[in-house]
Structure 1
Amino acid sequence: MSSWQDEPHLDIIPRTVEEAARIGAVTAPTTDFNAPERFEQKTGGAATTRYLDTADAFSQFSANMPFESELKFKVGNGIFRKLWVGAPSSTKGSDGLGPLYNARSCQNCHIKDGRGHLPENPDDSRVSALLRLSIPGGGGQLLIPDYIPTMPEPVYGGQLQDLALEGYLAEGSIEIEWSAFPVTLADGSVVELRKPLFRIEGYRYGAPQDGLMMSPRVTPQMIGLGLLESVPAADILALADPGDSDGDGISGRPNIVWSDEFGRPLLGRFGLKAGKPTIREQSAKAFADDMGLSTPLFPGPSGECTPVQADCLNATAGQEPGIRDGLEVDGQALDLVTFYARNLAVPERRNLDDPAVLRGKEIAYSIGCTSCHNPKFVTHRLNGQVEQSFQLIWPYTDMLLHDMGDGLADNRPESRATGREWRTAPLWGITLNRQVTGVENYLHDGRARSLIEAILWHGGEAQAARDAVVGLSTEDRKALLAWLESL
């Protein structure tokens, strides 16, 4: 086994031969669509929380969490929601923000632990959307096969910071122009798709280097992350078919990424291109890039500041000897946020036995949706993580990279992910974001305003499934959407 397939972030109890056989039988795709499968309502296994018809649907903790861990979750939530301020400040527990940043708190981006959204007009907030930046080149990575060399843009870094503390210049602003075009379905219905064109307005530190690659991102929902982190790497890799050996047109590949936490390559699991291997590392990187806060993994107090931004590099840091281990976010705070993110629970399914939902499930399986949106996994048996240990989960993702075609391409590689590849998004709780945040949007940049729009943007490996949806009868299309809404 290659070292990048190791899972040093987990304390694993190996499966027995008998367990592996049972798991294989349980996770095999169903062929019976006359009734719900056993345990299907509990999307996140025993960690599944009851469905709430409020904006708090994504903010519940794992239902199997021991009582003594609830305080840890709530303190982690407090740090996740904390509004950070610039240094120096009298509030020494909350200073160190920026001076260039994208948000003042984690919750600002992950609205009520759900998705962010694009601004619909010039006055809308941009705080839950951002632009990743890079240019071709930089050093290679011999330990990562098929690694695509890129480097942060020398002037603006790896991410555009569009906010700044008083006395500092934000790097620029994100501007969006929309174009629209119709798609006609087989029953004569017309769906209007909209495509965003992103640009940076008002470069404050000079022109960027030639070859700038920009990738717009809307923050994803937070539920079920700990369960996805606990899926065995071997089970994810068993779904990969990089050469399309079975000829079904689907060729999922794992992203292999460098882990700053462990100092070696690991399987990528988190982020829209599976660019981070663990929740802890993903959280630490967000503290650094989004808020300019130092952590044990990224101890530099200047966040994303580049050598061109001398004022930013020389700004007063929120690091004082003897306070927070000399960091802005110390190890204990990072661990509490990680625990919080790991235990945001998945709500239970609704309407499982509705005939339309069952018919929609059958359609999804028959037209190939589950070739990428893999229905089921069983997580590792774990020491010290009862909430995630040995759970049958239904995330509807394979956590692999897939070529999604020109329409969704950002043309910006990330480790070994190409500019056309994206990690399969989990489908659990997919339509509840409208309830949680008040905005319905889908895909990496939030361009799709409905499920049917999101489906119609699928191309590349998903083109055949997308075309099958276009050809559905009105009744069958409604059934498919009813199934998705039940997730």
Structure 2
Amino acid sequence: MHSRQNKKNLTGTLPVLLFLVSSFSAIAQTNQLEPGEAFPGGATTHQKKLNKNSFSHPSANMSFENQLNFRIGNGFFKRLWVSSPASTKAADGLGPVYNARSCQRCHLKDGRGHPPENAQDNSVSMFLRLSIPAQNQQQQQLLDSGRVPVIAEPTYGGQLQDFAVQGHNAEGRMVIEYREIPLQLADGEAISLRMPTYSVADLGYGAMHPDTMLSPRIAPQMIGLGLLEAIKEEDLLANADPQDNNSDGISGKPNRIWSPLHQQVMLGRYGWKAGNAGVDEQSQGAFSGDMGLSTPLHPNGFGECTTHQKTCTDALNGNSPQYENLEVHQQISDLVLFYSRNLAVPARRNPTNANVLAGKKLFNQTGCAACHTPSYTTGQRDDLPEQSNQKIWPYTDLMLHDMGPGLADNRPEGLASGQEWKTPPLWGIGLTPIVNNHSYYLHDGRARSLLEAVLWHGGEAQPARDKVVAMSKVERQQLIQFIESL
């Protein structure tokens, strides 16, 4: 009787013991290197020497035959376009207004852009998005239907082009003013955050709409784009909790935007507010908006010039019958797409270092992983053979999150409010100083270090940010070492 009673008690406590063991294992696991974690892009991960070309290598599992397409795509990515008419018909059509002459000029070494550092430094890897609130019922219906993410500024379109070809006016010049915000951390360390204010000077085509909303954007790094596209939609939507039903304070929601390629509303994955569904749409949109080049999805030879810019819309362009009446015809677009999808993520640096592993544990305990979801297994995609069925570690949920008033641009885009931003991937972020020779982060480059970037987090991320403020200096250093290792 006594032995049966003990057995009964033991059986009753077994689930509790198993739960405690499981919980302890899960906690302990955050302080260990998990299988495959050192290779964040799975089999696509490259292990080349770390230098300025670290973001420019092809998927490591790419076939020899496809490497030629990658190199040709790289050539078009670097191509310097010229204005029309030109003797080189295959490379003319730039502008008339534009932000850069090549993809590479914005995505420097396939990496991260930066804000101007001084009066002599131009803003070629950064620009301003423009839009206005709906002015009538028809425009509001377009926004509500998802057919358009924003209502473009009537005269200047969806973004400010600060360069122009000869004989034309640039649209204007972005002006940035900073003010320093002092902050003291719990251990007494004093730092300063810089708050930017944006305006436009030297308008080339008349006044802007009085309700124009400005949103600064730096060019993001290019690595791992195909892998993000290969994540199954249901796996991403599993991260969504727009009503915060689990009461954890995190309310990630998907952006749903119109896909001109697929002619339907789809899940947004690309852009700082998840305003594009696929790499192809992101790429072709950049050809049109950033360089004024026509593409299969954007066939206008004058880019995004509006009817209020008649000298721009009437200008000669590079649309040619021998190239499908386009400047960036389908073959070029497809090669750049292939290149963009296959820029490999570098292998982790020092992932087993004791401080890095301690930082990983802090990353999880602080709550950073609630939005920066560590890993996924990609699906099978016939158009993405290199990226299919890979265990990857991007540290993003690709969801929109309210980041508070400090980071707000107050400009809605699709379902994203003026305070919401997509969680950016963290893989490769620690190599920014090596690849791009700077350490500017966030959507507008205001953060001058990774710690500043963390301390700008507000809204849903405020509790995690406050835990970082409360850390000791050693703990903060360990957290940053972990992020730098990604």
Q: TM-score, structure 2 length as denominator?
A: 0.92
- What do residues 130-178 of structure 1 show as CA deviations (whole Å, max 9, x unaligned)? 0000000062457967899741100111100100001000011111111
- Larger relative helix fraction: 2
Residue type matched to 2:172 in 1?
A: G
Cα distance, 1:303–1:147 mapped onto 2, change above 3 Å: closer
| Mapping of residues 114-133 of structure 1, within 5 Å | 114-133=111-130
Task: Give the aligned partner of residue 436 of structure 2.
Answer: 437
Say whether the 8 Å CA contact 1:147–1:416 is kept in structure 2.
no
Task: Give the aligned partner of residue 254 of structure 1.
Answer: 254
Say whether the 8 Å CA contact 1:98–1:291 is kept in structure 2.
yes
Cα distance, 1:30–1:230 mapped onto 2, change above 3 Å: farther
Task: Give the aligned partner of residue 135 of structure 1.
Answer: 132
Cα distance, 1:33–1:253 mapped onto 2, change above 3 Å: closer
- What do residues 309-348 of structure 1 show as CA deviations (whole Å, max 9, x unaligned)? 1110000010122x21111000010000000000000000
| Mapping of residues 308-457 of structure 1, within 5 Å | 308-321=308-321, 323-457=322-456
SS of residue matched to 1:407:
coil
Q: Aligned equivalents of 1:385 and 1:30: distance in 2?
A: 35
| 1:60 pairs with 2:70 | no
Deviation of the 1:33 alpha carbon:
3.5
Structure 1: 5+ residue stretches without partners? 1-27
Q: Aligned equivalents of 1:441 and 1:375: distance in 2?
A: 23
Cα distance, 1:179–1:86 mapped onto 2, change above 3 Å: same
| 1:48 pairs with 2:24 | no
> Which of 1 and 2 has greater Rg?
2
SS of residue matched to 1:382:
coil
Deviation of the 1:70 alpha carbon:
0.2
Identical amino acids, percent of aligned pairs = 53
Q: Aligned equivalents of 2:383 and 2:431: distance in 1?
A: 31
Cα distance, 1:148–1:371 mapped onto 2, change above 3 Å: farther
Q: TM-score, structure 1 length as denominator?
A: 0.92
Task: Give the aligned partner of residue 483 of structure 2.
Answer: 484
Say whether the 8 Å CA contact 2:146–2:257 is kept in structure 1.
no
Residue type matched to 1:74 in 2?
A: R
SS of residue matched to 1:195:
strand
SS of residue matched to 2:90:
coil
Say whether the 8 Å CA contact 2:241–2:251 is kept in structure 1.
yes
Deviation of the 1:400 alpha carbon:
0.2
Q: Aligned equivalents of 1:58 and 1:144: distance in 2?
A: 38
- What do residues 284-326 of structure 1 show as CA deviations (whole Å, max 9, x unaligned)? 10000000100111111111111111110000010122x2111
Say whether the 8 Å CA contact 1:135–1:212 is kept in structure 2.
yes
Task: Give the aligned partner of residue 10 of structure 2.
Answer: none
C-alpha root-mean-square deviation of aligned residues, in Å?
Answer: 1.7
Deviation of the 1:229 alpha carbon:
0.4
Deviation of the 1:203 alpha carbon:
1.2
Task: Give the aligned partner of residue 269 of structure 2.
Answer: 269
Q: Aligned equivalents of 2:272 and 2:49: distance in 1?
A: 27
Q: How many residues align?
A: 460
2:89 to 92, 105, 114: 92
Deviation of the 1:30 alpha carbon:
6.8
Greater Cα shift, 69-78 or 132-141: 132-141
2:101 to 90, 104, 118: 104
- What do residues 93-128 of structure 1 show as CA deviations (whole Å, max 9, x unaligned)? 100000100000000000000010000111102100
Cα distance, 1:163–1:29 mapped onto 2, change above 3 Å: farther
| Mapping of residues 212-227 of structure 1, within 5 Å | 212-227=212-227
Structure 2: 5+ residue stretches without partners? 1-24
Q: Aligned equivalents of 2:324 and 2:148: distance in 1?
A: 36
Residue type matched to 2:36 in 1?
A: F
Q: Aligned equivalents of 2:398 and 2:149: distance in 1?
A: 22
Cα distance, 1:344–1:95 mapped onto 2, change above 3 Å: same
Q: Aligned equivalents of 1:280 and 1:29: distance in 2?
A: 39
- What do residues 327-370 of structure 1 show as CA deviations (whole Å, max 9, x unaligned)? 10000100000000000000000111111111100011011000
Greater Cα shift, 336-345 or 175-184: 175-184
Q: Aligned equivalents of 2:384 and 2:174: distance in 1?
A: 40
